[in-house]
Chain A
């Protein structure tokens, strides 16, 4: 019986991933900053899928607590999925360091802190999987996502490095690069329907990619090519564009 730990389980994608893995007979550990919000999801998963589902308090920004958090999990998860992240108003973040710092620390520093701990454990076991949900935004820096994109870029790079570090230890690291997703984070943005995914679709794709041990998966697949084009626009041109 395998167990999945979901860090950031109150996010729309986190909840969808929890249901998806539970439907495939995984036991679920839900972790979030406000664990009391997770009780309905806990009962939902136990009733629908008959899986064991537990709730844990986890604060990405409280780095000092991460080791004791991970070590207190019983059993230790076979798969750790890092879903948490925040997207604040970029203009506000540019003006206000507190907001910018929180965005960087949630999306990058906090993720590195907890995944280092998970990775060390998996390396000691010579077994385990880490899945990090980054963003296509990290593939190229741009004005409208100044801080968010740079933090996600750092996270993407960290996951690539971690994959390289863990490979010989039989630990798999998967990077997930979602494009547009209908979620709380994007509720007030008009998104083009054909290239936007639902959280349930993201969860389906992640589950399939996990089965195939993919390294980097774009959600949906065509985002790989959209980002390929965007990455290849020459900088002298790119810097003039409004993106």
Chain B
């Protein structure tokens, strides 16, 4: 059916013919048909990665195939979303090995973006926990791959934005938990220097992330809240929590019912928001035990929060810089603060080492910020790209809607190898997206 589709940033929007399948046989029929396509999950990447003239949705291909509560090995079809997985595994004492800041993504999307979470410095990205998976090529051939089988396909599919083939089945290892609660520590940092020191001090924490007020200048430049967490042990819970230690959080969601007019977000309102966010933590340090839901998925509580940026949409800009490039981080934050283009929140996180050819994470600092689409924004982001590259960093394709092919090329040293593998498994380039066309990942 022809319809207007967009990903989470509502930018860009395009008309696409969306088809779906619930059975392998139906997928084969779709692959027999004429027409290029791009696989698509829940549309929670931000930019143009899963957009194309024709999209094949995995959302109906969402069955759990096996789950062993003794070993935590979980196997499912690729259209299953993480929120549904949590409902099944948490009450039985297991958790996702890696989760991004939303649970409304499909497993296929988690692999195609090779998502990371607050525990990247300890546990790596999602692909590190995959035991094996099936990829269906445009030729209908099904190939099982892992780190030990068809390794090249595996490497180029993890983080490969769906360009090698359609991921249909994934088997991965879950993480054992004693309780569904998180023992949280929040620390206020007065400025960026202090924040980076705190990250170093608390690097042994499994989960860590900081929210930065990037509009503050002078002494308070980079003031922020560092959020640390560990899965709570049974002994960490108070009596009431202990009655049901593997409790699932209640589903309460507020819907953002319409697009906010774009003037609502301006330097003043963003400053006010950031101020409130910072001062709501009255004490310098907070220690408590909370449900996993607000710790991992604070924004999932507001359905369609992306509408807050207006109907023009927004882009999320996420880059990573090597650890030694701290001046680069300062330079970029300064430029954003000077420009006053406004971002609700900037999220800073330290990545650990990662070996992969096309996945985004590499050891260093990663910063993510939202920018509502406004005149002059794209030019400004091009300038930021130059700073990122100058310091040896790169951008995250899952967030991207606008980078230039040269930017990608400079940031990913193994890009040539990636393209070769894509060409091997997708030789006629029947699978391509708006993004892969823009970035010359597939021949135009």
A150 to chain B, nearest CB (A): 26
Which residues of A24-77 have CB atoms within 8 Å of chain B's CB atoms? Answer: 34, 37, 40-41, 43-44, 47-48
Interface residues of B in 60-88 (CB under 8 A from A): 60, 63-67, 77, 87-88
Chain B 16-29: CB-based contact to A (< 8 A → 1; otherwise 0): 00011011011000
**A-chain residues with CB within 8 Å of residue B254 when the two chains form the complex:** none
Chain A positions within 8 Å of B60 at CB level: 12
Q: Assuming the A-B contacts A47-B64, A47-B66, are A37 and B23 also in contact, with contact meaning beta carbons closer than 8 angstroms in the complex?
A: yes
Q: Which residues of B contact A191 (CB under 8 A)?
A: 1
Chain B residues within 8 Å of chain A by Cβ, number: 18
Nearest Cβ distance between residue B100 and chain A, in whole angstroms? 23
Taking the complex as formed, is B238 at the interface, i.e. its CB lies under 8 A from any CB of chain A?
Answer: no
List B residues 18-44 near A (Cβ within 8 Å).
19-20, 22-23, 25-26
List residues of chain B with CB within 8 A of the CB of A41.
63
Q: Which of A15, A43, A188 contacts B22 (CB 8 A)?
A: A15
Q: Are A44 and B1 in contact (CB under 8 A)?
A: no
Of A34, A40, A188, the most chain B CB neighbours within 10 A belong to A40
- Cα distance A94–B171 when bound, in Å? 48
Closest chain A residue, CB of each to CB of B24 = A37
Can you name the residue of chain B whose Cβ is closest to the Cβ of A44? B63
| B3 surroundings in chain A (CB, below 8 A) | 190
For the complex formed, measure the closest distance between the CB of B404 and the CB atoms of chain A, giving whole angstroms: 36
Given A12-B60, A48-B88, verify A187-B1 contact (CB < 8 Å). yes
CA distance A163 to B293 in the complex (A): 47
Give the chain B neighbours of A44 by CB distance below 8 A. 63-65
Residue-wise interface mask of A (1-40) relative to B, using a CB-CB cutoff of 8 A (1 in contact, 0 not): 0000000001010010000000000000000001001001
- Complex alpha-carbon distance, A189 and B17, angstroms: 11
Which of these, B25, B65, B87, contacts A43 with CB under 8 Å?
Answer: B65
Bound: A40/B1 CA distance, A: 26
Complex Cα gap A24–B20 (Å): 28
**B residues in contact with A37, CB < 8 Å:** 23, 25
Give the contacts of A130-181 with B (CB-CB under 8 A). Answer: none
A40 and B25 within 8 A (CB): no
Is B280 interfacial (CB-CB < 8 Å)? Answer: no
User: Considering the chains assembled together, what is the distance between the CA atoms of A44 and B19 in angstroms?
Assistant: 23
Residues of chain A within 8 A of B64, CB atoms compared: 43-44, 47-48
- A40 CB contact (under 8 Å) in B26, B65, B88: B65
Contact B1 A190 (CB under 8 A): yes
B240 on interface, CB distance cutoff 8 Å: no
Residues of B within 8 A of A242 (CB): none
Interface check A184, CB cutoff 8 A: yes
Contacts of B88 in A (CB 8 A): 47-48
Can you list 17 A-B pairs with a CB-CB distance of less than 8 A? A10-B23, A15-B22, A37-B25, A40-B63, A41-B63, A43-B64, A43-B66, A44-B64, A47-B66, A47-B88, A48-B64, A184-B20, A187-B1, A187-B19, A187-B20, A189-B1, A190-B3
Seen from chain A, the residues whose Cβ lies within 8 Å of a Cβ on chain B are: 10, 12, 15, 34, 37, 40-41, 43-44, 47-48, 184, 187-191
Given contacts A47-B67, A188-B1, A190-B1, 19 further A-B contacts (CB under 8 A): A10-B22, A10-B23, A12-B22, A12-B60, A37-B23, A37-B25, A40-B65, A43-B64, A43-B65, A43-B66, A44-B64, A44-B65, A47-B64, A48-B87, A48-B88, A187-B1, A189-B1, A190-B3, A191-B1
Give me the 7 closest cross-chain CB pairs, A-B, nearest first. A40-B63, A44-B63, A44-B64, A47-B64, A37-B23, A47-B67, A43-B65
